[in-house]
Amino acid sequence: MVAVIDLDALRHNYCLARSLAPNSQALAVLKADAYGHGAVACARALEGLPEHERPPAFAVASIEEAEALREGGIQTPIVLLEGIFEATELARVEALGLWLAVHSEWQVQALLSYRPAKPIPVWLKVDSGMHRLGFPLHEAADVWERLQAAPQHASDLHLMSHFATADAADTAYFQHQFESMISLSQRLGAPLCLANSPATLARPGAHGAWVRPGVMLYGSDPLEVPNEASRRLAPVMTLRSEIIATRELAEGEPVGYGGRWRAPRPSRIGVVACGYGDGYDRHAVDGTPVLVGGQRSVITGKVSMDMLMVDLTDLPEARIGTEVVLWGRATGGAVLSVDEVARCCDTISYTLLTGVLPRVPRRYRQA
C-alpha cells in the first residue's frame, strides 16, 4: 500500500492556475499537510519552479503548519489563513516571518497592542456571505482604517473573503458576494484575494490581485459542472495497492461483513490490501470503481479495516500481485478520478485526500 505523489503534476496544476489568472498572483494553499500530500515536499517542489513561475507565497491554517514548513527549510512567505488562535502567538508569527489574516476584533486588538520589530503584513478577512470567519461588511472599512493608521504594526494590507458557491452552476449567491467585495475594495482602494479553486477555474472576473488555488493543485476538480480548464488538471496522488488473495464464489455467495454483496453469477473476487485503517472511506458502496491492472473494476462488499474486495470475474489475467489503483493514475496510464470515488462514498475529494493515514507511505516522484 502506497500513496505515490507526482510532483510534476503538482507543478503543472499550479502553473495552470497561474495561466488562468495571468494578472494575479497565485497563493498556493498547503494546509492540512498539503491536503494529505505532504506539505514540505510539495512546498519544495513548488519552490523549485523557475523564479518567474514559483509561488510568491504559501497559505496554511495554523501556526503549527507554518512552523513545519519553516523547519523543513521553506523560506517563501506564508499566510496564516485563520490568523492567530491566541495573542501569545504573535511573537512566533514575527519570528517566522509570517503574513497574518485577521478576522476578529480580538485579533486586531492583540496586533495593535503588540510591538513588532517591523510591521507584520496583514490580510483583513471579510464575511461577504459565507458566515464562517470575517468581519461583517458594514464593519470592514472601520477595521481597515484602524490598521492603516497603525503602520508600525500592520503593513501590506489586503482584503480577503471566501465564496460559498463558486463551485455551483447557479451564480446568484456568488454574484452577491462578489459584488459586495468589489464595492468594498473600490471604496478602500484595497487589493483583493477572493478566488478559491473553483473561482480560479471558472470565475475570471473574481481573480483580483491574488488567487488562492487549493484542492485544484492536487488534481481534484471542485466544479459542479467541469469546464475546459478543470479537465486539464492532473492527478497528483495515486493511492495504490495490490491483490493479495483471490476467491472463487458460486452464484449467491456473500462477500464481506454483513454479506451486503452477493455474487450475481459465478464470480472471482480479489482481496486488496487497503481499508479504512489506511484512510479509504468505509462508506464506499458496492460498485465503487477501482483500476485493476489498469482496467476498471468495482468494489464488492463492505470495506474492512485492512482489506477490501474487488470483482475479478471479467479480468482473467488479474492475479496475486496485480496492481490495484484506488484513485489516481495506473501504471499503463489509465486514470481514476478521486472525485468519482468520492461521489461513490457520499463525500468529497478533500476528505479522501486528507484522510489517507500515516501508515500509508508517501513516495514522491518527479522527472
- What angle is formed at CA 210 by the lines to CA 199 and CA 141, rounded to 5 degrees? 100
The three cell numbers locating residue 248: 472463487
CB neighbour list of residue 314: distance below 8 Å, 6 or more residues apart: 297
Catalytic one among 114, 118, 125, 257?
257
Which residue's C-alpha cell is 495554523? 62
Pair 230, 279: CB distance under 8 Å:
no
CA distance 246 to 249: 10
Q: Are 200 and 330 in contact (CB under 8 A)?
A: no
Cβ pair 156, 79 in contact under 8 A: no
Distance between CA 232 and CA 234 in Å, rounded?
Answer: 6
Active site residue 31: yes
Please name every residue paired with 365 in a beta bridge, in sequence order, or none if there are none: 6
Which residues make beta-bridge pairs with 207? none
Helices (H), strands (E): how many in the chain?
A: 11, 20
Alpha helices in 268-314 (DSSP H): none
Set 14, 31, 218, 350: catalytic member: 31
- Cα 46 to the center of its chain, rounded Å: 15
Taken as a whole, the chain contains a residue count of 367
d(CA 338, CA 328): 7
Q: What beta strand segments (E) does 52-110 contain?
A: 57-60, 78-80, 99-102
Could you tell me if 46 and 28 are in contact, meaning their C-beta atoms sit under 8 angstroms apart? yes
CA 286, 311, 247, 314 torsion-angle sign = positive
Question: Which residue is it, cell 482496467?
Answer: 295
Tell how strand 210-211 and strand 192-195 pair up.
parallel
The DSSP code for 284 is: P
Which residues are catalytic, by number? 31, 257
